[in-house]
A and B are shown apart, each in its own frame.
Chain A
Amino acid sequence: MRATRTAAAVGVLTVLAGTSACGLDGSEPHTVARKHSLVIGVKEDQPMLGFKRGGTYEGFDVDVALYVAGRLGVPRDRVRFRTTNSSVRESALASGAVDMIFATYSITAKRKTQVTFGGPYYVAHQDTLVRADATSIGNVRDLKGKRICEVTGSNSWRRVVEERRIAARPVTAPTYGACMDDLAAGKLDAVSTDDLILAGFAAGRGVRIVNAPFTDEKYGVGLKKGDLEGCELVNRAITRMYQDGTAARLLDKWFGKSGLKLTTSVPQFEGCS
């Protein structure tokens, strides 16, 4: 009799222990909301956005990432940055190599099937950069017959030539940095891509952004697919960043001298899914 009772008690205890353990573990384990430290993916070759200079990263994306991490309770010294190129962004999030991505990462319907996007923290627009003395180019339609930069692996030139059907002449270059040199050397007439990227290159080069935006590029915060809790917290952090004036200050810090029209009001969020 006593044996039966003891066995029953042990059985009950086991089940109870199991139940409570499930209750704790079941509540979204993969979230940036409750992490002690964070690994953040950024670009290393975009001046003023994500740029690696002597082992440290700097730029608007980096500063925004640090602000958001701080609002998630992770101070600067527990944040590690990792160069994450465009082609590996989805796999780096899926494998857990990085926890978040701040790397001029445009939100698109297709990417949303693989990634949960917080933000956008800024809506950039495709715009056009010309030499300061080229006054004949006022908007994208004026690129007809002009030589524009076609950067290998970038789709920006297609948006002019294929989507806008403007008969510009693409000239290939390996990077946007090389485009800038070609523009200065007179081998090109214009460079057309995201305005923040252009602004990053523009400072002190004798060039001008025409301020005629023709697309919306929603720069989102890449999170592991399904991390809704983290995504909601990231959105609250971005809301606060615009409310407390940090966003305006950071935009001015990195792009204030570029002559670009900046938006300092919070963007419309994509919604966590």
Chain B
Amino acid sequence: MTPPPGQLAPATRPSAKPAQPGADQSAPLVTGISGNVAERREGRLATFVRGRWIHTIPGRIRAYTAAILAALAVLLTVLTVAVGNARDSVQTIGHDAGPQVVATGTLYFALSDMDAQVSNILLMGRDHDLGIGYDATLRVYERRRAEAGAAAVQAAQLASRDADLRTTVQQVLQGLGRYEELVGRALLLDQQADHPAGRLPGQVVDAYRQATDLMRLELLPKAYNITLDSGANVRQAYETKRSAVLSGRAWVAVTGALVLLLMIAAQVYLARTFRRVLNPAMVLATVAAAVLAAVGTGLLTAQAGHIRTAKQDGFDSILALSRARAISHSAFADESRYLLDPGRADTYEQTYLDKSLSVLYPDLGTRPVVLENYYTGLDEQVGAYTPGGPVRFLGFFGDEARGIGRGGPEADALVRTLRSYRTVLDNDRRMRALAAGNDRPGAVDLRMGKSSSALRDFDAYDAALRGLTGVHQDVFDQAIDDADGGLRGWSALPPIAAAAIALLVLAGVRPRLAEFR
């Protein structure tokens, strides 16, 4: 987080005990003759402790030099630590945990969509051409099953050091096995029943209820929590690393200023003592140190900005929108469930409303929160919305709308998404009107796209939403690229620059010291 407090000591040491390194350096100059080593050490120590040397001109020069070199060493250390922190944070958010967390989001989506495909198959019954067709629906189910497996592997990797998270992942995998058994039974009963579309016999509905309850009440919440929990780790790493980079930046600025102050003080002393206006090597060293500190500070500022962009406009938005997408698919499946299980129609209508509210929550004022008012509230408030203007709705899209400017690809993608979302809800309204008017076959045909563009409209919404997520993915990739690019070369540059500055300082004071030989 903040640089370790131990660094405070080296930073202040040059002014507190300036003499020690200078005394070491002076050894070969002062005592060039051979003799008893121990005696000579003692003599030197005594001289050092008496402290009269500091009042000599070479003593002063050496003290300045030592202080400058020590401060330079601290600057180098602080800069290296801060750049290391910046590198770590880019690695975590951009390359390791960040993308893995996003990948676990696929788990929720894939599981949810498996159950959606099952509900579609059951709804179509013997009418195998409904919707995208029986075989294609089964293929989607199999693909989602594979995606869920792959996402679970990612989740298991993320959970390797967290026992509770690992338990959750295991419970999801075990539950998935049970779910597949229950689905197998429901599909078998469904085939045997050979029923017309939308008219399921009781035992098929019962078998499906067991499967979908397991999925919706146990597996999906756990899958959702896995992404939230591992996302929390990324947030904590982000907060910690970003504040470390920022306080590292402050330390670089302060130690940089200290180096400069010492260099200027040394030059003023040299100029006064030797009556020379400029010491070219020292001037060069001062300029180089100023540039190093300034560029280092600038780099850390830029890195903190890149990380912030990647986290807030990238990672957070991608996660939120992928949740919105998964919830939308799950709500779309609630339409199928609403039609295939009339006994629970009220419940599935309520879950459809709840899910729609979490995606987009129009301000309904005092009107009761029911689907009918949702449709009108949605039309009013989304219809009145322009990017950059006031936002009256909450939910995932409300957050998104509040976070964007007046124009740009993000605003365009959001407007497309909102427009297609309204169409999806409009289809829902018509479907429920048919079902409520006892025209169940009509409602099934509408929902399955036989008499409407409901499936195409939902696909268009899904594509728009993926487009919007893609915009944030681009922002994320760009920020991580910038961060990686900015850090390139920063392992070697600080030590090389510090060594060059140190050499320039030594080159600057050497001729002056030589005058006293």
Interface residues of A in 239-273 (CB under 8 A from B): 239-240, 243, 263, 265-269, 271-272
Contact assessment for B254 and A19 in the assembled complex, using a CB-CB cutoff below 8 Å:
yes
Contact assessment for A267 and B221 in the assembled complex, using a CB-CB cutoff below 8 Å:
yes
The smallest beta-carbon distance between B330 and chain A, in angstroms, is 11
Out of A26, A140, A268, which one reaches B224, CB within 8 Å?
Answer: A268
Interface residues of A in 179-203 (CB under 8 A from B): none
Which B residues are CB-close (under 8 A) to A236? 164, 229
Contact assessment for B368 and A158 in the assembled complex, using a CB-CB cutoff below 8 Å:
yes
Contact assessment for A4 and B350 in the assembled complex, using a CB-CB cutoff below 8 Å:
no
The smallest beta-carbon distance between A141 and chain B, in angstroms, is 8
Contact assessment for B358 and A109 in the assembled complex, using a CB-CB cutoff below 8 Å:
yes
Please measure, in the bound complex, the distance between the C-alpha atom of A26 and the C-alpha atom of B217, giving whole angstroms.
40
The residue of chain B having its C-beta at the shortest distance from the C-beta of A6 within the complex is B15
Interface residues of A in 4-33 (CB under 8 A from B): 4-6, 8-9, 12-13, 15-16, 19-20, 22-24, 26-28
Query: What count of chain B residues pass the 8 Å CB interface test?
Result: 50
Q: Is the interface of A mostly helix, strand, loop or mixed?
A: helix
Which B residues are CB-close (under 8 A) to A109? 357-358, 361, 394-395
Contact assessment for B15 and A265 in the assembled complex, using a CB-CB cutoff below 8 Å:
no
Which A residues are CB-close (under 8 A) to B221? 265-269
Which A residues are CB-close (under 8 A) to B354? 216
The residue of chain A having its C-beta at the shortest distance from the C-beta of B14 within the complex is A9
The residue of chain B having its C-beta at the shortest distance from the C-beta of A113 within the complex is B394
Which A residues are CB-close (under 8 A) to B250? 19, 22
Please measure, in the bound complex, the distance between the C-alpha atom of A12 and the C-alpha atom of B224, giving whole angstroms.
49
Total of A-B residue pairs, C-beta within 8 Å = 117
Contact assessment for B370 and A163 in the assembled complex, using a CB-CB cutoff below 8 Å:
yes
Please measure, in the bound complex, the distance between the C-alpha atom of A6 and the C-alpha atom of B222, giving whole angstroms.
61
Which A residues are CB-close (under 8 A) to B239? 27-28
Contact assessment for A22 and B225 in the assembled complex, using a CB-CB cutoff below 8 Å:
no
Which A residues are CB-close (under 8 A) to B347? 213-214
The residue of chain B having its C-beta at the shortest distance from the C-beta of A232 within the complex is B232
Contact assessment for A20 and B2 in the assembled complex, using a CB-CB cutoff below 8 Å:
yes
Which A residues are CB-close (under 8 A) to B262? 8
Out of A23, A232, A243, which one reaches B2, CB within 8 Å?
Answer: A23
Residue-wise, chain B 262-276 has the 8 Å CB interface mask toward A (1 for contact) of 100100110000000
Which B residues are CB-close (under 8 A) to A8? 15, 258, 261-262, 265
Contact assessment for A23 and B243 in the assembled complex, using a CB-CB cutoff below 8 Å:
yes
Residue-wise, chain B 219-240 has the 8 Å CB interface mask toward A (1 for contact) of 0111011001100100110010
The residue of chain B having its C-beta at the shortest distance from the C-beta of A228 within the complex is B235
Contact assessment for A214 and B220 in the assembled complex, using a CB-CB cutoff below 8 Å:
no
Residue-wise, chain A 154-167 has the 8 Å CB interface mask toward B (1 for contact) of 00001000111000
Out of B5, B15, B224, which one reaches A20, CB within 8 Å?
Answer: B5
Contact assessment for B12 and A1 in the assembled complex, using a CB-CB cutoff below 8 Å:
no
Which A residues are CB-close (under 8 A) to B394? 109-110, 112-113
B279 at the interface (CB under 8 A from A): no
Please measure, in the bound complex, the distance between the C-alpha atom of A228 and the C-alpha atom of B236, giving whole angstroms.
9
Given known pairs A19-B250, A158-B368, A268-B220, the reply for A216 and B351 (CB within 8 Å) is: yes
Out of A16, A22, A235, which one reaches B229, CB within 8 Å?
Answer: A235
The smallest beta-carbon distance between B290 and chain A, in angstroms, is 16
Out of B225, B269, B351, which one reaches A266, CB within 8 Å?
Answer: B225
Out of B2, B12, B225, B346, which one reaches A19, CB within 8 Å?
Answer: B2
B92 at the interface (CB under 8 A from A): no
Contact assessment for A215 and B357 in the assembled complex, using a CB-CB cutoff below 8 Å:
no
Contact assessment for A239 and B2 in the assembled complex, using a CB-CB cutoff below 8 Å:
no
Which B residues are CB-close (under 8 A) to A1? 265, 268-269
Interface residues of A in 70-112 (CB under 8 A from B): 109-110, 112
The smallest beta-carbon distance between B141 and chain A, in angstroms, is 22
B413 at the interface (CB under 8 A from A): no
The residue of chain B having its C-beta at the shortest distance from the C-beta of A15 within the complex is B254
Please measure, in the bound complex, the distance between the C-alpha atom of A20 and the C-alpha atom of B7, giving whole angstroms.
11
Contact assessment for A163 and B368 in the assembled complex, using a CB-CB cutoff below 8 Å:
yes
Given known pairs A162-B368, A216-B351, A239-B168, the reply for A271 and B228 (CB within 8 Å) is: yes
Which A residues are CB-close (under 8 A) to B247? 19-20, 22-23
Contact assessment for B243 and A9 in the assembled complex, using a CB-CB cutoff below 8 Å:
no
Which A residues are CB-close (under 8 A) to B235? 228, 232
Which B residues are CB-close (under 8 A) to A27? 1, 239, 243
Please measure, in the bound complex, the distance between the C-alpha atom of A39 and the C-alpha atom of B228, giving whole angstroms.
27
The smallest beta-carbon distance between B298 and chain A, in angstroms, is 18
Please measure, in the bound complex, the distance between the C-alpha atom of A248 and the C-alpha atom of B511, giving whole angstroms.
83
Out of B5, B254, B346, B395, which one reaches A214, CB within 8 Å?
Answer: B346
B257 at the interface (CB under 8 A from A): yes
Please measure, in the bound complex, the distance between the C-alpha atom of A157 and the C-alpha atom of B243, giving whole angstroms.
50
Please measure, in the bound complex, the distance between the C-alpha atom of A240 and the C-alpha atom of B351, giving whole angstroms.
27
Which B residues are CB-close (under 8 A) to A110? 394
Please measure, in the bound complex, the distance between the C-alpha atom of A235 and the C-alpha atom of B222, giving whole angstroms.
12
B167 at the interface (CB under 8 A from A): yes
B116 at the interface (CB under 8 A from A): no
The residue of chain B having its C-beta at the shortest distance from the C-beta of A268 within the complex is B221
Please measure, in the bound complex, the distance between the C-alpha atom of A22 and the C-alpha atom of B251, giving whole angstroms.
12
The smallest beta-carbon distance between A250 and chain B, in angstroms, is 18
B369 at the interface (CB under 8 A from A): yes
Please measure, in the bound complex, the distance between the C-alpha atom of A138 and the C-alpha atom of B455, giving whole angstroms.
36
B8 at the interface (CB under 8 A from A): yes
Contact assessment for B217 and A263 in the assembled complex, using a CB-CB cutoff below 8 Å:
yes
Please measure, in the bound complex, the distance between the C-alpha atom of A88 and the C-alpha atom of B232, giving whole angstroms.
29
Which A residues are CB-close (under 8 A) to B129? none
Contact assessment for A140 and B229 in the assembled complex, using a CB-CB cutoff below 8 Å:
no
Please measure, in the bound complex, the distance between the C-alpha atom of A22 and the C-alpha atom of B358, giving whole angstroms.
38
Which B residues are CB-close (under 8 A) to A229? 236
Please measure, in the bound complex, the distance between the C-alpha atom of A229 and the C-alpha atom of B323, giving whole angstroms.
21
Which A residues are CB-close (under 8 A) to B323? 271
B11 at the interface (CB under 8 A from A): yes
B218 at the interface (CB under 8 A from A): yes
Interface centre among B164, B225, B239, B243 (most CB of A within 10 A): B225
Given contacts A215-B350, A243-B168, 15 further A-B contacts (CB under 8 A): A12-B12, A15-B254, A20-B3, A20-B5, A20-B247, A110-B394, A140-B346, A141-B346, A216-B351, A235-B225, A236-B164, A243-B164, A266-B168, A269-B221, A269-B228
Sorted nearest first, the 8 A-B pairs with minimum C-beta distance are A23-B2, A268-B221, A9-B15, A232-B232, A109-B361, A162-B368, A23-B247, A109-B394
24 contacts between A and B (CB under 8 A): A6-B15, A8-B262, A9-B12, A15-B254, A19-B2, A20-B2, A20-B3, A22-B250, A23-B243, A23-B247, A24-B2, A26-B243, A28-B239, A109-B358, A158-B368, A163-B370, A214-B346, A214-B347, A239-B164, A263-B217, A266-B221, A266-B222, A266-B225, A272-B228
Q: Give residues in B with beta carbon < 8 Å to A.
A: 1-3, 5, 8, 11-12, 15, 164, 167-168, 217-218, 220-222, 224-225, 228-229, 232, 235-236, 239, 243, 247, 250-251, 254, 257-258, 261-262, 265, 268-269, 323, 346-347, 350-351, 354, 357-358, 361, 368-370, 394-395
